[in-house]
Amino acid sequence: MEEKRYALLLAARDSDYVKKVYGGYFNVFVAAFGEEGERWDLFRVVEGEFPDMNELKKYDGFVVSGSPFNAYGNDYWILKLCFLLQTLDSMEKKVLGICFGHQVLCKALGGKVGKAYTGWDIGLRRVRMVRDLRSCSFMEELGDEIPQFLSIIECHQDEVWEVPSGAEVIAFSDKTGVEMFAIGDRILGIQGHPEYTKDILYNLIDRLLNNNCIQSDYADKAKLGLEIAEPDRKCWEKICRNFLKG
Protein backbone atom coordinates (compact mmCIF):
# COMPACT_ATOMS: atom_id res chain seq x y z
CA MET A 1 0.00 0.00 0.00
CA GLU A 2 1.36 3.41 -0.94
CA GLU A 3 2.11 5.68 2.01
CA LYS A 4 -0.20 8.65 2.51
CA ARG A 5 1.51 11.98 2.13
CA TYR A 6 0.51 15.29 3.69
CA ALA A 7 1.93 18.82 3.72
CA LEU A 8 1.83 21.38 6.51
CA LEU A 9 1.73 24.94 5.15
CA LEU A 10 3.15 26.75 8.18
CA ALA A 11 2.02 30.39 8.32
CA ALA A 12 3.70 31.25 11.64
CA ARG A 13 7.29 31.32 12.84
CA ASP A 14 8.10 28.91 15.66
CA SER A 15 8.00 30.58 19.06
CA ASP A 16 11.02 30.01 21.33
CA TYR A 17 8.73 28.12 23.71
CA VAL A 18 7.33 25.73 21.09
CA LYS A 19 10.81 25.20 19.67
CA LYS A 20 12.21 24.36 23.09
CA VAL A 21 9.36 22.11 24.30
CA TYR A 22 8.10 20.51 21.06
CA GLY A 23 10.88 21.09 18.55
CA GLY A 24 8.59 23.39 16.52
CA TYR A 25 4.94 23.69 15.44
CA PHE A 26 5.42 21.02 12.77
CA ASN A 27 5.77 18.37 15.51
CA VAL A 28 2.67 19.72 17.30
CA PHE A 29 0.59 19.29 14.13
CA VAL A 30 1.95 15.85 13.26
CA ALA A 31 1.32 14.65 16.83
CA ALA A 32 -2.31 15.82 16.57
CA PHE A 33 -3.19 14.76 13.02
CA GLY A 34 -0.53 12.32 11.83
CA GLU A 35 -0.58 8.55 11.99
CA GLU A 36 1.99 5.76 11.76
CA GLY A 37 3.27 5.10 8.24
CA GLU A 38 2.44 8.53 6.80
CA ARG A 39 4.82 11.08 5.36
CA TRP A 40 4.46 14.71 6.42
CA ASP A 41 6.36 17.54 4.71
CA LEU A 42 6.85 21.06 6.03
CA PHE A 43 6.61 24.24 3.94
CA ARG A 44 7.23 27.50 5.79
CA VAL A 45 4.93 29.61 3.63
CA VAL A 46 5.40 32.58 5.99
CA GLU A 47 9.07 32.55 4.88
CA GLY A 48 8.06 32.24 1.21
CA GLU A 49 8.68 28.46 1.06
CA PHE A 50 6.00 26.76 -1.09
CA PRO A 51 5.54 23.28 -2.57
CA ASP A 52 6.43 22.85 -6.24
CA MET A 53 3.25 23.12 -8.34
CA ASN A 54 4.23 19.92 -10.16
CA GLU A 55 4.42 18.01 -6.87
CA LEU A 56 0.93 18.90 -5.59
CA LYS A 57 -0.69 15.82 -7.09
CA LYS A 58 1.52 13.58 -4.90
CA TYR A 59 -0.20 14.79 -1.73
CA ASP A 60 -3.33 13.34 -0.11
CA GLY A 61 -4.02 16.47 1.89
CA PHE A 62 -2.79 19.85 3.11
CA VAL A 63 -3.04 21.62 6.47
CA VAL A 64 -2.77 25.43 6.76
CA SER A 65 -1.72 26.60 10.23
CA GLY A 66 -2.57 29.64 12.32
CA SER A 67 -0.59 32.87 12.00
CA PRO A 68 -0.17 36.27 13.68
CA PHE A 69 -0.80 37.84 10.23
CA ASN A 70 -4.20 38.94 8.89
CA ALA A 71 -5.75 36.60 6.31
CA TYR A 72 -7.05 39.69 4.49
CA GLY A 73 -3.56 41.23 4.31
CA ASN A 74 -1.83 41.84 0.97
CA ASP A 75 1.59 40.46 1.89
CA TYR A 76 3.05 38.68 -1.13
CA TRP A 77 3.22 35.27 0.60
CA ILE A 78 -0.47 35.52 1.63
CA LEU A 79 -1.54 36.28 -1.96
CA LYS A 80 0.65 33.41 -3.18
CA LEU A 81 -0.93 31.14 -0.55
CA CYS A 82 -4.41 32.15 -1.78
CA PHE A 83 -3.43 31.21 -5.32
CA LEU A 84 -2.11 27.84 -4.07
CA LEU A 85 -5.38 27.19 -2.20
CA GLN A 86 -7.41 28.02 -5.32
CA THR A 87 -5.23 25.57 -7.27
CA LEU A 88 -5.72 22.82 -4.66
CA ASP A 89 -9.47 23.49 -4.73
CA SER A 90 -9.55 23.08 -8.53
CA MET A 91 -7.57 19.82 -8.13
CA GLU A 92 -10.15 18.70 -5.53
CA LYS A 93 -7.42 18.12 -2.94
CA LYS A 94 -8.29 17.95 0.76
CA VAL A 95 -7.37 21.12 2.66
CA LEU A 96 -7.77 21.68 6.40
CA GLY A 97 -7.39 25.28 7.60
CA ILE A 98 -6.81 26.16 11.27
CA CYS A 99 -7.48 29.68 12.67
CA PHE A 100 -5.67 31.94 10.13
CA GLY A 101 -5.79 28.88 7.82
CA HIS A 102 -9.60 28.72 8.19
CA GLN A 103 -9.86 32.43 7.33
CA VAL A 104 -7.40 32.43 4.41
CA LEU A 105 -9.10 29.35 2.93
CA CYS A 106 -12.41 31.18 3.13
CA LYS A 107 -10.96 34.31 1.52
CA ALA A 108 -9.20 32.37 -1.27
CA LEU A 109 -12.42 30.58 -2.21
CA GLY A 110 -14.54 33.73 -2.37
CA GLY A 111 -15.81 34.23 1.18
CA LYS A 112 -15.34 37.31 3.37
CA VAL A 113 -13.10 37.71 6.42
CA GLY A 114 -12.25 40.63 8.67
CA LYS A 115 -11.80 41.85 12.23
CA ALA A 116 -14.08 40.09 14.72
CA TYR A 117 -17.01 42.38 15.58
CA THR A 118 -16.71 41.41 19.25
CA GLY A 119 -12.91 41.63 19.60
CA TRP A 120 -10.38 39.05 20.74
CA ASP A 121 -11.36 35.49 21.63
CA ILE A 122 -8.67 33.84 23.73
CA GLY A 123 -9.13 30.76 25.90
CA LEU A 124 -11.61 27.90 25.88
CA ARG A 125 -14.74 28.29 23.77
CA ARG A 126 -17.76 25.98 23.74
CA VAL A 127 -18.94 25.48 20.17
CA ARG A 128 -22.16 23.95 18.94
CA MET A 129 -22.04 21.41 16.11
CA VAL A 130 -24.71 21.62 13.44
CA ARG A 131 -26.62 18.36 12.90
CA ASP A 132 -28.20 17.09 9.64
CA LEU A 133 -25.54 18.39 7.31
CA ARG A 134 -26.15 18.36 3.58
CA SER A 135 -22.80 17.28 2.26
CA CYS A 136 -20.19 16.44 4.94
CA SER A 137 -20.07 12.66 5.07
CA PHE A 138 -16.84 12.79 7.14
CA MET A 139 -18.92 14.35 9.95
CA GLU A 140 -21.96 12.13 9.41
CA GLU A 141 -19.73 9.02 9.67
CA LEU A 142 -18.66 10.04 13.18
CA GLY A 143 -22.31 10.45 14.20
CA ASP A 144 -22.80 10.12 17.96
CA GLU A 145 -19.05 9.86 18.61
CA ILE A 146 -19.06 13.67 18.43
CA PRO A 147 -21.25 15.39 21.05
CA GLN A 148 -23.33 18.44 20.10
CA PHE A 149 -21.12 20.78 22.16
CA LEU A 150 -17.31 20.71 22.09
CA SER A 151 -14.72 22.90 23.83
CA ILE A 152 -11.76 24.15 21.82
CA ILE A 153 -8.81 26.47 22.48
CA GLU A 154 -9.18 29.78 20.61
CA CYS A 155 -6.81 32.67 20.00
CA HIS A 156 -7.95 35.12 17.31
CA GLN A 157 -9.13 38.67 16.66
CA ASP A 158 -10.27 38.08 13.06
CA GLU A 159 -13.15 35.92 11.87
CA VAL A 160 -15.05 34.64 8.85
CA TRP A 161 -17.88 37.04 7.98
CA GLU A 162 -19.29 35.09 5.06
CA VAL A 163 -18.48 31.55 3.86
CA PRO A 164 -17.69 30.83 0.20
CA SER A 165 -20.53 29.80 -2.07
CA GLY A 166 -21.29 26.08 -1.72
CA ALA A 167 -19.89 26.00 1.83
CA GLU A 168 -21.79 24.88 4.90
CA VAL A 169 -21.36 26.28 8.43
CA ILE A 170 -20.89 23.19 10.59
CA ALA A 171 -20.23 24.78 13.99
CA PHE A 172 -20.85 28.14 15.68
CA SER A 173 -20.61 29.69 19.14
CA ASP A 174 -22.18 32.62 20.98
CA LYS A 175 -18.99 34.57 20.16
CA THR A 176 -18.33 33.57 16.55
CA GLY A 177 -20.89 32.79 13.86
CA VAL A 178 -18.57 30.57 11.81
CA GLU A 179 -16.49 28.32 14.08
CA MET A 180 -16.26 25.68 11.33
CA PHE A 181 -17.18 25.48 7.67
CA ALA A 182 -16.85 22.77 5.06
CA ILE A 183 -17.23 22.32 1.34
CA GLY A 184 -18.21 18.69 0.88
CA ASP A 185 -15.51 16.32 2.11
CA ARG A 186 -12.53 18.22 0.76
CA ILE A 187 -12.40 21.67 2.41
CA LEU A 188 -12.59 22.13 6.19
CA GLY A 189 -11.97 25.31 8.18
CA ILE A 190 -11.78 25.40 11.98
CA GLN A 191 -11.51 28.75 13.79
CA GLY A 192 -10.14 27.24 17.01
CA HIS A 193 -6.90 25.31 17.56
CA PRO A 194 -7.52 21.54 17.75
CA GLU A 195 -3.73 21.01 17.83
CA TYR A 196 -2.99 23.34 20.79
CA THR A 197 -2.20 22.12 24.27
CA LYS A 198 -3.01 24.41 27.20
CA ASP A 199 0.66 25.20 27.87
CA ILE A 200 1.10 26.52 24.30
CA LEU A 201 -1.79 28.91 24.86
CA TYR A 202 -0.52 30.01 28.30
CA ASN A 203 2.77 30.96 26.66
CA LEU A 204 0.99 32.74 23.80
CA ILE A 205 -1.12 34.76 26.27
CA ASP A 206 2.08 35.90 28.02
CA ARG A 207 3.61 36.97 24.69
CA LEU A 208 0.46 38.88 23.66
CA LEU A 209 0.48 40.61 27.04
CA ASN A 210 4.19 41.51 26.77
CA ASN A 211 3.59 42.93 23.28
CA ASN A 212 0.67 45.04 24.60
CA CYS A 213 -1.80 43.24 22.30
CA ILE A 214 -4.10 42.45 25.24
CA GLN A 215 -4.72 43.90 28.73
CA SER A 216 -3.61 42.08 31.88
CA ASP A 217 -7.14 41.62 33.25
CA TYR A 218 -8.17 39.98 29.95
CA ALA A 219 -5.09 37.71 30.10
CA ASP A 220 -5.91 36.68 33.69
CA LYS A 221 -9.50 35.87 32.75
CA ALA A 222 -8.39 33.75 29.78
CA LYS A 223 -5.94 31.81 31.97
CA LEU A 224 -8.56 31.25 34.66
CA GLY A 225 -10.93 29.72 32.10
CA LEU A 226 -8.18 27.30 31.08
CA GLU A 227 -7.61 26.23 34.68
CA ILE A 228 -11.19 25.12 35.26
CA ALA A 229 -11.94 23.23 32.03
CA GLU A 230 -10.34 21.08 29.33
CA PRO A 231 -10.53 21.25 25.53
CA ASP A 232 -12.06 18.20 23.84
CA ARG A 233 -8.82 17.43 22.04
CA LYS A 234 -9.58 13.75 21.34
CA CYS A 235 -12.84 14.64 19.57
CA TRP A 236 -11.19 17.40 17.53
CA GLU A 237 -8.34 15.11 16.50
CA LYS A 238 -10.90 12.49 15.47
CA ILE A 239 -12.77 15.03 13.30
CA CYS A 240 -9.55 16.27 11.65
CA ARG A 241 -8.13 12.81 11.06
CA ASN A 242 -11.41 11.50 9.68
CA PHE A 243 -11.54 14.48 7.31
CA LEU A 244 -7.93 14.12 6.12
CA LYS A 245 -7.87 10.32 5.83
CA GLY A 246 -11.47 9.65 4.77
Annotated catalytic residues are 99, 193, 195
Which among 188, 117, 196, 93 has a CA at the least distance from the CA of 154?
196
In a 10 Å sphere around its CB, with 0-12 CB exposed, 13-18 middle and 19+ buried, how is residue 6 labelled?
Answer: buried
The 3-class SS string of 178-208 reads CCEEEECCCEEEECCECCCCHHHHHHHHHHH
Q: Measuring CA to CA, which residue among 121, 135, 170, 132 is closest to residue 150?
A: 170
List the one residue out of 112, 111, 128 whose CA is nearest residue 166.
111
